[in-house]
């Protein structure tokens, strides 16, 4: 019997609010592609165990490889007038939905490789590099978090909202409980930073979290403009 890695039970699908990443003492840098849209972006898809621990950096022999991520087999050719536009498979989607805000400005490769090597390698028995990034982007496209919050009157307008109302809106919109993580702006206001939802081990569907990560927020938090 050969054990393929250490396995995992489910994923955390973690999204970040760019306004809250940038609105800190450390500030941020926009990626090479420019300022991301005012929308939640992906932080990562993290394999996790039901007992709240998690594996990391599972395969040193599987470095991030952009040519694997951007599987040319799936490249789409669109004919516009007499020009053929090459829509490279995943990179254009990653730039929009998995934008990096770390400094110094870069094209995102650093963030994606960090996420693949730390987390993605731990679900490699189920999802290869291409599938890992594609599955994460597909989940992001299915869960329109900003739309869900706005439908409940919770908007990125610098106003303060009750964390309980934010969680209730996400539950109403997705059907599932989420965890909310906060950070602080330079005036020490707590703000909506990251939202954790859970995804089944095949990375297809949201599930109720077997264990919610413990993250602390003040009871009322700011949702900053981006």
Residues with a catalytic annotation lie at 43, 115, 119
Report in angstroms how near the CB of residue 25 gets to ligand 5GP at its nearest. Answer: 8
| Contact between residue 90 and residue 70 where contact means Cβ atoms under 8 Å apart | yes
Q: Is 54 in the site for ligand 5GP (CB under 6 A)?
A: yes
Q: Is 147 in the site for ligand 5GP (CB under 6 A)?
A: no
Q: What is the dihedral of CA 18, 23, 27, 33, to 10 degrees?
A: 30
Among 9, 28, 33, 185, binds ligand 5GP (CB under 6 A): 28
Q: How many CA atoms lie within 13 A of 21 on its CB side?
A: 22
Q: Is 17 in the site for ligand 5GP (CB under 6 A)?
A: no
Stretch that binds ligand 5GP, among 24-32, 76-84, 155-163, 201-209 (CB under 6 A): 24-32
Q: Tell the residue number behind the tokens 């993580």, with chain if given.
A: 181
Report the distance separating Cα 103 and Cα 84, nearest Å: 35
Report the distance separating Cα 106 and Cα 30, nearest Å: 8
Q: Is 127 in the site for ligand 5GP (CB under 6 A)?
A: no
What is the per-residue binding string for ligand 5GP in 161-200, x denoting contact by CB under 6 A?
----------------------------------------
Is the CB of 18 or the CB of 173 nearer to ligand 5GP?
18
Among 46, 64, 116, 133, binds ligand 5GP (CB under 6 A): 46
Is the CB of 115 or the CB of 134 nearer to ligand 5GP?
115
Is the CB of 74 or the CB of 106 nearer to ligand 5GP?
106
Stretch that binds ligand 5GP, among 20-28, 61-69, 127-135, 157-165 (CB under 6 A): 20-28
Q: At what angle do helices 129-142 and 109-118 cross, to 10 degrees?
A: 110
Report in angstroms how near the CB of residue 27 gets to ligand 5GP at its nearest. Answer: 6
The alpha-helical segments, DSSP class H, found in the chain are 18-22, 66-69, 91-97, 109-118, 129-142, 145-151, 163-174
Q: What does each C-alpha distance from 139 to 58, 145, 198 come to in angstroms?
A: 23, 11, 11
Is the CB of 45 or the CB of 169 nearer to ligand 5GP?
45
Structure tokens at 79: 């004919």
Report the distance separating Cα 97 and Cα 41, nearest Å: 5
Q: Which residues bind ligand 5GP (CB under 6 A)?
A: 12, 16, 21, 24, 26-28, 43-44, 46, 48, 54, 100-103, 111, 114-115, 118, 213
């Amino acid at each position: 019997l050969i054990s393929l890695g250490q396995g995992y039970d489910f994923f955390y699908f973690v999204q970040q609010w760019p306004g809250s990443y940038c609105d800190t003492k450390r500030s941020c840098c926009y990626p090479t592609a420019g300022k991301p849209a005012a929308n939640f972006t992906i932080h990562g898809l993290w394999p996790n165990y039901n007992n709240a621990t998690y594996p990391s950096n599972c395969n040193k022999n599987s470095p991030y490889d952009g040519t694997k991520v951007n599987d040319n087999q799936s490249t789409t050719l669109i004919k516009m007038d007499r020009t053929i536009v090459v829509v490279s498979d995943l990179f254009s989607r990653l730039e929009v939905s998995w934008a990096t805000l770390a400094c110094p400005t870069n094209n995102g490769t650093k963030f994606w490789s960090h996420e693949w090597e730390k987390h993605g390698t731990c679900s490699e028995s189920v999802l290869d590099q291409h599938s890992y990034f594609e599955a994460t982007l597909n989940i992001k496209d299915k869960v329109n978090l900003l739309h869900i919050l706005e439908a409940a009157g919770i908007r990125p307008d610098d106003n303060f909202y009750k964390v309980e109302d934010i969680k209730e809106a996400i539950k109403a919109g997705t059907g599932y409980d989420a965890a909310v993580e906060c950070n602080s702006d330079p005036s020490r206001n707590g703000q909506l930073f990251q939202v954790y939802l859970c995804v089944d081990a095949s990375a297809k569907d949201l599930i109720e979290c077997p264990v919610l990560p413990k993250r602390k927020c003040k009871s009322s938090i700011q949702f900053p403009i981006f």
